């Protein structure tokens, strides 16, 4: 009964949003912009028009146009929508991991995107607005992931970018593909696939250069399997690497980054992966920690927060992931909470939930911080988003209310 | 005697007031002085020693937490002292006189909460705690580091005493496990309870008749063994029932049973409890809830269903006693955090997210589970007469950055963050742990020289 | 190789038994260095032995006439090593529960070369223990001298083994054994009081001769104890009702009720009888010591138990006994250990337990990790490495000899080079605590029992 009402009211909200004036103004008690200036604006006003932020500043400094729809959140915190670089629930879980081969360069998760599934609704309740839907780690190369909004009624409306990244699982799961699959074979096989992909990319780059020079070279044969690798090698999309433990993370860095020149995002990076910190710092890579958040270091009988351990050793581009459904998507902020419980700095942790993952995924031009021109993706929180006692009351994606706890409280 | 001196020394260092000049040296010197040489000197000395030892054994063990903000039923007693004698609290207040030979922990600037009580646990104490707990176990250590001082473990109860079995085993919990997960089981239970009820009624009638001087036949009590004995305890109110139930249907069936037979029940789970909180409250049912326990709603059902983060709050509003327990009542070292006893207080914080008040959230991890386990007279609050079990933290226990500084069990420091490697390096306590941060080396214990000694 | 060794050993056995049969033999042995272990080291040093026992040891001793002289040249001489816990030479089976009446001696393998593996590693005596958990029986101490097994027995029965490793059953069995003994004592006291009342109405008045329990132990049955026995009594004391009717009743003397064999050792222990066995408590982890102390809180042992504090398993170097170092040191316990650097449980934090224990005041003795030839071959080197990590030379040497002999219960016979003890020693090619030191000869009873076939 309640659900029916809720669904109706939610639809109503959407319709209302369409019918309403072009400008929405949100009056907030505190706005965590997460921008480069690290501005935190108290008693702020944010203007939204056409799904984008058009103005942001202190009340009085920003003029609210007459007739604007005003959302009163004067005792709330505004926080950019949280971004998870490692999600499996935006698509159908049954198709988590198609393992045709040990490396599957042609597969794409965009084919599995499932708008408005229950887990996505929960995600919105956790203030999560953007996720990277990637294949599982049952084989070394699961295919291309999709950057998706947690809201949107169609695949097109959800999709931020497809392909979003290439999913590679360096080790620690693909071994299950078949017996006899160990690290040496996996790395060799992965290298073979990448070599083929690069050869394809190189042949086309050569052809394009020749064409630009006006030389009449015959085009190489087109192969859709390798087509998505071209933006990958051009550095236009990253590679999301399931990698953890010292040796494996090292291999990821040297093989994928050094040898193949890929834009590596170290995903998981847990256990004692932090011992690679020096290598990570040298190459300025993004490290997205989770779903494990601590490592029991048996050499010292200490519990180390993984994020803090990276930070202590110089790594600054740190984020958090849930590997949802391993940790429910709506608990993304809790991942950072645990990191902070074990020593990490809360403000940096908030950046690790927003702007750092946005940069890692190369979508920071659109989302990740509350700045003029960026998408109006944010959560309205009752307080510190890292504190489990506070909740996200309202989630807005591209200017539209996609979750309202007053109507359908989920988390 | 020597031990007394050491305690005195410890006291001096801890309190930080006494200087070396103020140490009770004369006392020590008098003890160490050799007995005067007499013909029967040896005997006299032996006698003295024996007496001295007896004194030591009989002397009460005083322990005081001094200067902290002490949590007392929703209020803070500032700058107060909690004094314990032989592990029990004998005084709480701002003007408590601490005996000179007490071990004192100065907690000025810290908050003192009652020790946390986990309604259930796995792997922290032994299956038969008194006989098989590893009192130096890692899990026990970690539970103490979370502030837990008492646990239920299956049907057993135990205090988390570190390195000692004194006061460890609390015996069995006063809970009778019943199963209502299937209609047939419920029917059987109903029959059994009715049988015990009839017996109780008949014996009451017989007793009344006897009191009137009439001849009366006592009902046959032979069947009152095993489950029937347990059911009798339920019906006379000396024990509570423990039930696993999550759905509104099961919960409603339980309320019908408790109302019909008049017994009290503790429900573990009650994920859909928020859909019928009033019914549960009226039926005298208590709940051990996990605020984040998911149960995705079935939209095809007409009634409200599924999980709600507001579950604990809604139940509490309707007078249901609510205890909080994480999803996994163990402690895992795998690195996935936030769902087990290692972050026990955070689970209470999630209940607050759902609307539970701070006091109710604190009670849900202290006195309420103590009450449900039948040990509220021993643990759960800092009151005179109860065990001196305390968690000492800087700031708010339910804040995510708060780590336990000390845990006290039975008037003994069972965990000290600055002295235990586990979490020492996380926001180290002022003035302690200078060697931090810790490098990636293999430390050595003992005083090993650099190279093996060579023979002459 | 092995067969030729055994052959030579057999020959040596023939030779020495022949010489033993002759007139008292005086032997003088000189070496570049003589390590007595209990006292000083002499360089050069010499030993005078008569009838296989040490008559004198020192730097320069007048050589008695007619003595056989041996000059070991540059070699070093020290007491023979003792294996305080081994299964060499035993074919037995595993027992559970209270089996204190069992003796490892009856399981000894009758084979001359049974202990060759030990002998060749410099071990002259070995305590062979009965296998099992709880109370599996009594050990037997043999010397490794090749000869007929019957002649080799130094002590039978030896220590009483207690398997005590975190199993609730261990604790129950030990508790039961103690309780049964208490009941037996109580019963006897009651019987005696009754008998006194019957026969001597004036008994108990001042001046009555004090009872000496050790001298008047009641008869009991056992393979090596007491005269022919009445029918078998049940194992539990409480069940042994009345006196045997077959034995003639002497009313002038008090006939105590028979004490069942399975109860007798603990009765002796509780009465602090000189004949009482020493307990040999095998712990699994530090917590077990706390459990043991709890069971035995009221008991005052005639001799402190020997504790075996092994690593967590033969495949693991984990230990948590560093947590009870203080407790063990306080009582100056005799603790058996694996001669290896361990790591703190569930960490890689290194700990030299032997060094920590000996610094705390314990006597330490060593048991190889592997109870096999390879384990004993490496024993000296393993201990040498511990010395490199900080263990004192004195503790290391005693741990191999004197303390090991004490643990086995034969310290009055061997373990150090002292006047009156057996002339059992080993001859090494250098200092025993230098890596690579090799045992070249083993002397038992002042006779060369084994010589390494050296190819220099």
* Cross-chain Cβ contact A335/B338 below 8 Å: yes
Chain A within 8 Å of C316 (Cβ-Cβ)?
A: no
Q: How many CA atoms lie within 13 A of C199 on its CB side?
A: 12
* Cross-chain Cβ contact A409/B310 below 8 Å: yes
pLDDT of residue C438: 92
Both C76 and C120 in one domain: the answer is: no
C450: which 2 tokens? 């084994």
Query: What is the bridge-based pairing of β-strands A318-320 and A286-289?
Result: parallel
Q: Which among B446, B452, B455 is the nearest to C356, CB-wise?
A: B446
Domain around C314: 81-241+255-414
Both C433 and C363 in one domain: the answer is: no
Q: What residue spans of A20-87 are helical by DSSP H?
A: none
Which chains lie within 8 Å of chain C at 3 or more CB pairs, if any?
A, B
- Alpha-carbon distance A300 to nearest alpha carbon in chain C (angstroms): 6
Both C8 and C150 in one domain: the answer is: no
C149: which 2 tokens? 């097994």
Report the residue of C283, C289, C294, C353 to disrupt the B interface, i.e. the one with the largest count of B CBs within 10 Å: C294
Chain C from 323 to 352: CB within 8 A of any A CB = 344, 346-349
Asked, for residue C186, whether it belongs to a domain, the answer is yes
Return d(Cα C278, Cα C160) in angstroms, integer.
6
**Closest residue, chain A, to C347 (C-alpha):** A298
If pLDDT is split at 50, 70 and 90, which confidence band does B200 have? very high
* Contact (Cβ atoms closer than 8 angstroms) between residue C28 and residue C67: yes
- Alpha-carbon distance C345 to nearest alpha carbon in chain A (angstroms): 9
* Cross-chain Cβ contact A296/B304 below 8 Å: no
Calculate mean pLDDT across residues B211-240: 93
* Cross-chain Cβ contact C168/B126 below 8 Å: yes
If pLDDT is split at 50, 70 and 90, which confidence band does B41 have? very low
Chain B within 8 Å of C171 (Cβ-Cβ)?
A: yes
Asked, for residue C365, whether it belongs to a domain, the answer is yes
Phi, psi of C318 (to 5 degrees): -80, 145
Angle at A137 between CA A133 and CA A141, to 5 degrees: 85
pLDDT digits (tens, 9 = 90+) for A231-261: 999 999 999 999 999 999 999 999 999 999 9
The sign of the dihedral angle between the CA atoms of C349, C354, C355, C361 is positive
pLDDT digits (tens, 9 = 90+) for B382-440: 999 999 999 999 999 999 999 999 999 999 999 999 999 899 999 988 766 544 554 44
Both C208 and C270 in one domain: the answer is: yes
**Closest residue, chain C, to A300 (C-alpha):** C349
Both C449 and C425 in one domain: the answer is: yes
Which chains lie within 8 Å of chain A at 3 or more CB pairs, if any?
B, C
pLDDT of residue C152: 84
Strand partners, C58: C46
Asked, for residue C51, whether it belongs to a domain, the answer is yes
pLDDT of residue B447: 42
User: What is the signed CA dihedral for B119, B124, B128, B134, rounded to 10 degrees?
Assistant: -150
Return d(Cα C259, Cα A121) in angstroms, integer.
77
pLDDT of residue A7: 45
User: What is the signed CA dihedral for C35, C40, C44, C50, rounded to 10 degrees?
Assistant: -70
pLDDT of residue C95: 86
Whether pLDDT at B380 is above 90: yes
Percentage, residues of chain A above pLDDT 90: 87
* Cross-chain Cβ contact B446/C389 below 8 Å: yes
A199: which 2 tokens? 């050869």
Asked, for residue C246, whether it belongs to a domain, the answer is no
Chain A within 8 Å of B353 (Cβ-Cβ)?
A: yes
Both C270 and C150 in one domain: the answer is: yes
Domains of chain A: 1-81+368-411 (2.30.40.10), 82-367 (3.20.20.140)
Both C277 and C367 in one domain: the answer is: yes
| Contact residues for B264 (Cβ-Cβ < 8 A; gap 6+) | B234, B237, B240, B241, B258, B284, B285, B286
Calculate mean pLDDT across residues A326-332: 96
Range of lowest pLDDT (B22-26, B235-239, C135-139, C177-181): B22-26
Residue C232: C-alpha distances to residues B164, C97, C219, C223, C260 (Å): 41, 19, 12, 12, 8
Phi, psi of A107 (to 5 degrees): -85, 150
* Contact (Cβ atoms closer than 8 angstroms) between residue C138 and residue C130: yes
Chain B within 8 Å of A301 (Cβ-Cβ)?
A: yes
ipTM score of the complex? 0.92
Phi-psi region of C390 (alpha: psi -120 to 50; beta: other; left: phi over 0): left
Strand partners, B229: none
Chain C within 8 Å of A184 (Cβ-Cβ)?
A: no
Whether pLDDT at A136 is above 90: yes
**Closest residue, chain B, to A299 (C-alpha):** B442
Could you say which DSSP state residue C131 is in? -
Q: Which among B333, B440, B441 is the nearest to A275, CB-wise?
A: B440
* Cross-chain Cβ contact B165/C352 below 8 Å: no
Could you say which DSSP state residue A318 is in? E
Asked, for residue C250, whether it belongs to a domain, the answer is no
Q: Which among C166, C356, C359 is the nearest to B132, CB-wise?
A: C166
Identify the CATH number of the domain in which residue C452 sits.
2.30.40.10
Could you say which DSSP state residue A56 is in? E
Both C128 and C224 in one domain: the answer is: yes
Calculate mean pLDDT across residues B227-256: 96
Calculate mean pLDDT across residues A65-76: 93
Asked, for residue C248, whether it belongs to a domain, the answer is no
Both C428 and C356 in one domain: the answer is: no
Both C293 and C384 in one domain: the answer is: yes
Strand partners, C153: C142
Map B168-204 to HEC letters.
CEEEECCEEEECCCCHHHHHHHHHHHHHHHHHHHHHH
Calculate mean pLDDT across residues B224-247: 95
* Cross-chain Cβ contact C356/B445 below 8 Å: yes
* Residue C237, burial from CB neighbour count under 10 angstroms (0-12, 13-18, 19+): buried
> What residues of C are in contact with residue B456 (Cβ under 8 Å)?
43
Identify the CATH number of the domain in which residue C215 sits.
3.20.20.140
Strand partners, A161: A147
Which positions of chain C have pLDDT values less than 70? 1-24, 148-150, 201-251, 454-456
Query: What is the bridge-based pairing of β-strands C41-42 and C33-35?
Result: antiparallel
> What residues of C are in contact with residue A299 (Cβ under 8 Å)?
347-349
Could you say which DSSP state residue A177 is in? G
A190: which 2 tokens? 């992965």
- Alpha-carbon distance A12 to nearest alpha carbon in chain B (angstroms): 19
Q: Of C348 and B14, which is predicted with more confidence?
A: C348
* Cross-chain Cβ contact A389/B401 below 8 Å: no
pLDDT of residue C250: 64
Helix or strand or coil: residue C316? strand
**Closest residue, chain B, to C330 (C-alpha):** B3
> What residues of B are in contact with residue C325 (Cβ under 8 Å)?
none
Residue C363: C-alpha distances to residues A8, B242, C332 (Å): 80, 52, 7
* Cross-chain Cβ contact B452/C384 below 8 Å: yes
pLDDT digits (tens, 9 = 90+) for C183-226: 999 999 999 999 888 887 664 555 444 444 444 444 443 333 33
- Alpha-carbon distance B29 to nearest alpha carbon in chain C (angstroms): 22
Report the residue of A278, A341, A349 to disrupt the B interface, i.e. the one with the largest count of B CBs within 10 Å: A341
Both C188 and C324 in one domain: the answer is: yes
Q: How many CA atoms lie within 13 A of B104 on its CB side?
A: 24
Both C366 and C454 in one domain: the answer is: no
Asked, for residue C43, whether it belongs to a domain, the answer is yes
Return d(Cα B21, Cα B2) in angstroms, integer.
19
Q: Which among B296, B426, B438 is the nearest to A118, CB-wise?
A: B296
Chain A within 8 Å of B442 (Cβ-Cβ)?
A: yes
Chain C within 8 Å of B454 (Cβ-Cβ)?
A: yes
> What residues of A are in contact with residue B296 (Cβ under 8 Å)?
118
* Cross-chain Cβ contact B338/A338 below 8 Å: yes
Residue C272: C-alpha distances to residues A90, A360, A402, C135 (Å): 76, 76, 82, 19
Which chains lie within 8 Å of chain B at 3 or more CB pairs, if any?
A, C
> Which is nearest to A332 in space by CA: A175, A187, A150?
A150
- Alpha-carbon distance C320 to nearest alpha carbon in chain A (angstroms): 13
Return d(Cα B76, Cα C218) in angstroms, integer.
67
pLDDT of residue C149: 62
* Cross-chain Cβ contact A302/B422 below 8 Å: yes
pLDDT of residue A5: 46
Return d(Cα A166, Cα B281) in angstroms, integer.
53
Whether pLDDT at A287 is above 90: yes
pLDDT of residue B432: 60
Chain B within 8 Å of A118 (Cβ-Cβ)?
A: yes
Encode C57-88: b = buried (16+ Cβ within 10 Å), e = exposed.
beeebeeeeebeebebeebbbbbbbbbbbbbb
Q: How many residues does chain C have?
A: 456
**Closest residue, chain B, to A290 (C-alpha):** B336
Chain B within 8 Å of C36 (Cβ-Cβ)?
A: no
Asked, for residue C105, whether it belongs to a domain, the answer is yes
pLDDT digits (tens, 9 = 90+) for B109-128: 999 999 999 999 999 999 99
**Closest residue, chain C, to A299 (C-alpha):** C348
pLDDT of residue C208: 45
How many independent structural domains does chain C possess? Answer: 2
């Amino acid at each position: 009964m309640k659900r029916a009402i809720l669904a109706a009211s939610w639809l109503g909200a959407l319709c209302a949003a369409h019918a309403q004036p072009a400008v929405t103004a949100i009056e907030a008690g505190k706005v965590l912009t997460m921008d480069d200036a690290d501005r935190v604006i108290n008693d702020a006003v944010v203007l939204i028009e056409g799904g984008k932020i058009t103005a942001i500043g202190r009340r009085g400094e920003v003029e609210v146009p007459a007739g604007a729809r005003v959302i009163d959140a004067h005792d709330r915190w505004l926080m950019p929508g949280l971004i998870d670089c490692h999600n499996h629930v935006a698509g159908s879980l049954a198709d988590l991991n198609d393992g045709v081969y040990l490396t599957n360069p042609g597969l794409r998760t965009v084919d599995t995107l499932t708008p408005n599934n229950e887990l996505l609704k929960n995600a919105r309740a956790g203030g999560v607005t953007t996720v990277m839907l990637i294949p599982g780690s049952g084989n070394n190369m699961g295919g291309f992931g999709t950057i998706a909004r947690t809201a949107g009624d169609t695949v097109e409306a959800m999709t931020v970018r497809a392909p979003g990244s290439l999913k590679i699982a360096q080790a620690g799961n693909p071994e299950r593909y078949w017996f006899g699959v160990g690290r040496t074979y996996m790395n060799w096989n992965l290298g073979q696939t990448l070599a083929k992909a690069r050869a394809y990319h190189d042949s086309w780059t050569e052809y394009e250069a020749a064409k630009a020079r006006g030389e009449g070279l015959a085009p190489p044969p087109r192969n859709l399997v390798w087509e998505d690798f071209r933006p990958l090698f051009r550095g236009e999309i990253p590679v999301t690497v399931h990698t953890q433990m010292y040796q494996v993370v090292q291999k990821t860095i040297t093989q994928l980054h050094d040898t193949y020149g890929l834009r590596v995002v170290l995903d998981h990076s847990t256990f004692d992966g932090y011992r690679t910190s020096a290598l990570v710092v040298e190459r300025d890579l993004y490290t997205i920690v989770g779903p494990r958040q601590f490592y029991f270091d048996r050499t010292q009988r200490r519990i180390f927060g993984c994020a803090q351990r990276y930070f202590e050793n110089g790594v600054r581009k740190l984020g958090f992931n849930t590997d949802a459904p391993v940790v429910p998507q709506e608990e993304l902020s809790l991942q950072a909470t645990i990191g902070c419980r074990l020593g990490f700095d809360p403000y940096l942790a908030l950046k690790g939930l927003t702007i750092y993952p946005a940069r890692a995924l190369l979508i920071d031009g659109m989302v990740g911080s509350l700045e003029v021109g960026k998408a109006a993706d944010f959560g309205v929180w009752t307080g510190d988003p890292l504190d489990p006692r506070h909740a996200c009351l309202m989630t807005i994606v591209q200017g539209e209310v996609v979750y309202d706890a007053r109507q359908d409280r989920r988390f | 005697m020597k031990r007394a001196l050491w305690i005195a020394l410890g006291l001096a260092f801890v309190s930080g007031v006494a200087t070396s000049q103020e140490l009770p040296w004369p006392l020590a010197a008098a003890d160490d002085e050799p007995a005067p040489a007499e013909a029967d000197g040896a005997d006299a000395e032996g006698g003295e020693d024996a007496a001295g030892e007896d004194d030591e054994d009989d002397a009460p063990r005083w322990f005081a937490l001094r200067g902290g903000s002490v949590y007392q039923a929703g209020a803070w007693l500032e700058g107060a002292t909690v004094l314990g004698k032989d592990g029990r609290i004998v005084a709480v207040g701002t003007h408590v006189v601490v005996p000179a030979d007490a071990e004192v922990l100065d907690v000025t600037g810290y908050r003192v909460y009652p020790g946390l009580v986990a309604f259930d646990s796995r792997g922290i104490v032994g299956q038969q705690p008194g006989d098989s707990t590893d009192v130096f176990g890692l899990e026990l250590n970690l539970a103490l580091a979370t502030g837990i001082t008492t646990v239920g473990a299956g049907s057993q109860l135990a205090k988390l005493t570190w390195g000692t079995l004194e006061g460890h085993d609390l015996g069995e919990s006063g809970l009778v496990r019943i199963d209502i997960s299937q209609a047939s089981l419920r029917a059987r239970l109903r029959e059994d309870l009715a049988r015990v009820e009839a017996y109780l009624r008949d014996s009451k009638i017989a007793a009344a008749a006897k009191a009137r001087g009439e001849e009366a036949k006592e009902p046959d009590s032979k069947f009152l063994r095993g489950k029937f004995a347990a059911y009798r305890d339920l019906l006379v109110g000396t024990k509570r029932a423990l039930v696993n139930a999550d759905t509104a249907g099961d919960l409603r069936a339980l309320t019908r049973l408790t109302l019909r037979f008049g017994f009290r029940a503790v429900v573990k789970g009650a994920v859909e409890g928020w859909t019928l909180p009033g019914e549960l409250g009226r039926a005298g049912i208590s709940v051990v809830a996990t605020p984040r326990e998911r149960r995705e709603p079935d939209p095809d059902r007409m009634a409200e269903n599924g999980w709600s983060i507001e579950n604990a709050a809604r139940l509490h509003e309707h007078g249901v006693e609510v205890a909080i327990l994480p999803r996994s009542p163990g402690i895992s070292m795998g690195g996935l955090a936030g769902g087990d006893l290692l972050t026990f207080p955070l689970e209470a914080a999630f209940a607050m997210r759902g609307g539970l008040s701070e006091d109710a959230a604190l009670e849900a991890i202290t006195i309420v589970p103590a009450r449900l386990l039948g040990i509220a007279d021993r643990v759960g609050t800092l009151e005179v007469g109860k065990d001196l079990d305390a968690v000492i933290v800087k700031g708010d226990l339910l804040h995510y950055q708060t780590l336990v500084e000390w845990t006290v069990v039975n008037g003994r420091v069972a965990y000290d963050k600055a002295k235990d490697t586990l979490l020492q390096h996380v926001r180290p306590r002022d003035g302690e742990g200078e060697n931090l941060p810790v490098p990636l080396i293999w430390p050595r214990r003992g005083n090993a020289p650099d190279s093996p000694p060579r023979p002459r | 190789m092995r067969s030729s060794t055994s052959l030579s050993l057999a020959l040596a056995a023939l030779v020495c038994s022949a010489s033993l049969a002759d007139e008292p033999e005086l032997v003088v042995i000189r070496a570049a260095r003589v390590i007595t272990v209990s006292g000083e080291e002499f360089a050069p040093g010499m030993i005078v032995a008569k009838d296989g026992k040490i008559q004198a040891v020192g730097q320069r001793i007048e050589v008695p006439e007619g003595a056989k002289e041996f000059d070991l040249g540059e070699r070093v001489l020290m007491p023979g090593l003792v294996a305080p816990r081994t299964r060499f030479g035993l074919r037995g089976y595993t027992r559970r529960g209270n089996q204190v009446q069992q003796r490892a001696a009856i399981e000894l393998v009758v084979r001359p070369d049974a202990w060759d593996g030990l002998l060749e590693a410099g071990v002259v005596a070995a305590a062979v223990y009965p296998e099992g958990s709880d109370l599996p029986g009594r050990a037997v101490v043999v010397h490794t001298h090749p000869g007929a097994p019957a002649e080799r027995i130094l002590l039978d029965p030896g220590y009483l083994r207690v398997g005590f490793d975190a199993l609730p059953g261990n604790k129950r069995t030990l508790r039961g054994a103690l309780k049964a003994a208490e009941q037996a004592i109580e019963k006897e006291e009651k019987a005696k009081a009754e008998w006194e009342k019957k026969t001597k109405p004036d008994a108990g008045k001042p001046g009555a001769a004090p009872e000496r329990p050790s001298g008047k132990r009641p008869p009991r049955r056992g393979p090596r104890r007491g005269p022919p026995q009445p029918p078998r009594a049940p194992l539990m004391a409480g069940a042994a009702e009345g006196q045997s009717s077959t034995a003639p009743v002497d009313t002038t003397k008090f006939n105590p009720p028979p004490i069942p064999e399975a109860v007798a050792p603990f009765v002796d222990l509780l009465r602090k009888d000189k004949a009482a066995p020493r307990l040999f408590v095998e712990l699994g982890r530090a917590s077990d010591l706390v459990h043991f102390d709890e069971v035995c809180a009221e008991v005052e042992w005639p001799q402190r138990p020997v504790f075996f504090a092994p690593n967590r398993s033969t495949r693991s170097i984990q230990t948590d006994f560093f947590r009870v170092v203080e407790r063990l040191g306080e009582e100056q316990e005799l603790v058996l250990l694996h001669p290896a650097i361990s790591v703190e449980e569930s960490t890689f934090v290194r700990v030299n337990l032997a060094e920590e224990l000996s610094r705390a005041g314990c006597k330490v003795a060593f048991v190889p990790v592997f109870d096999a030839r390879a384990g004993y071959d490496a024993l000296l080197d393993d201990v040498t490495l511990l010395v490199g990590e900080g263990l004192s030379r004195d503790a290391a040497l005693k741990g191999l000899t004197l303390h090991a002999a004490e643990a086995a219960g034969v310290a009055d016979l061997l373990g150090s080079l002292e006047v009156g003890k057996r002339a059992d020693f080993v001859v090494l090619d250098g200092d025993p605590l230098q890596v690579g030191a090799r045992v070249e000869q083993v002397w038992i009873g002042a006779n060369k029992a084994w010589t390494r076939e050296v190819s220099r």
